[in-house]
Amino acid sequence: MSKIGFIGAGNMAEAIIKGVIDAHIYHAEDIIISDVRKDRLNELADKYGISFMSNMQLAEAVDILVLSVKPQNMTSVLNEIKNSLCETLMVSIAAGITTGSICNTLGYSSVIRVMPNTPALIGQGTAVLYATKEARERLSEVERIFSAVGLVAAVEDEKLLDAVTAVSGSGPAYFFLLMEEMIKTAEKMGLGKELAEKIVLQTAKGAAMLAIERAKTGEKPEVLRQKVTSPNGTTEAALKVFAKNDFSKIVSEALAAAEKRSKELSGN
């Protein structure tokens, strides 16, 4: 079996490690990590039975190397390992770092860039991939890895990852914000903090699960919304407030701002 390595042992790296072990895609002995935090390395080694090495040793030992470092540390890490690579497939999950930037630093073109999101921490993530021409024949390997922590899709134009970042990368925060404000308002209505949080979170979960299930038969969120909205009812009263404040425009402008910032960070 091939070996996979992770430079950077943060939460997303741990989510992927747990996912591939649970899905039997990799055995623990085939996973190697590195990180500047020794306590974190010991923690993950004890928890999953994996091993750790220096960046250079790891780069020499693995077939697939996941770059899960902070974007501001990417260049220094790449310069450190570039002479240790041998037909290694590079997989970057660092936001805003293009494959071109990685290839230019490494002098190496087998790179796949991934935009994951935080629900991967519970195996419910969304990951969108882009592969350079030299890496496309190995795209299925990386799709299999990320399928262990959620939904996987691929794009053929790297610039689309800016839109992906705005929609799914940042997307969980939009839903969390709605939940946050609903909980606050429910408390003000007298429901109490514990009950307010419980019913808002379950409502969000139920709505998402219903939308996913009904999408299988072609029933869109628009139709589901209409089914909840009785004429002159409570839901219609609430939705009229959203419409009055141009909710559609707010959402559109918010995602556009996120996409614009992603383009700025990646130099697109």
Supply the DSSP string of 38-66, one letter for each residue: HHHHHHHHHHH--EE--HHHHHHH-SEEE
Q: How far apart are CA 262 and CA 97, in angstroms?
A: 10
The C-alpha atoms of residue 215 and residue 108 are separated, in whole angstroms, by: 41
Burial of 230 (0-12, 13-18, 19+ CB in 10 A): exposed
Distance CA 113, CA 53 (A): 23
φ/ψ of 10, rounded to 5, equals: -80, -165
For residues 87 and 107, give the distance between their C-alpha atoms in angstroms, rounded to a whole number: 12
* CA nearest to 128, candidates 103, 92, 100: 92
Query: 4-164 — its CATH code?
Result: 3.40.50.720
| Angstrom distance (rounded) from CA 180 to CA 171 | 14
Bridge partners of 92, per DSSP, are: 67, 113
Question: Residue 48: what residue type?
Answer: Y
**Domain map of the chain by residue range?**
4-164, 171-266
pLDDT (tens place) for every residue of the chain, 268 residues total: 589 999 999 999 999 999 999 999 999 999 999 999 999 999 999 999 999 999 999 999 999 999 999 888 999 999 999 998 888 999 999 988 999 999 999 988 899 999 999 999 999 999 999 999 999 999 999 999 999 999 999 999 999 999 999 999 999 999 999 999 999 999 999 999 999 999 999 999 999 999 999 999 999 999 999 999 999 999 999 999 999 999 999 999 999 999 999 999 887 6
What's the pLDDT at 1?
57
Q: Residue 95: its pLDDT value, please?
A: 86
Answer for the pair 110, 138: CB distance below 8 angstroms, yes or no.
yes
Helix (H) / strand (E) element for 227: namely helix 221-228
pLDDT at 265: 85
Task: Say how far apart CA 143 and CA 147 lie, in whole Å.
Answer: 6
How many angstroms separate the CA atoms of 219 and 204, rounded?
18
Q: What is the CATH number of domain 171-266?
A: 1.10.3730.10
| Vertex 60: Cα angle to 56 and 66 (nearest 5) | 80
Q: Residue 267 has what pLDDT?
A: 75
The separation between CA 220 and the C-alpha centre of its own chain, rounded to angstroms, equals 24
Give the Cα separation of 46 and 39 in Å (integer). Answer: 11
At 87 the pLDDT is: 84
Residue 189 Cα distances to 13, 133, 182, 245, angstroms: 41, 56, 10, 22
C-alpha closest to that of 81 among 102, 112, 106: 106
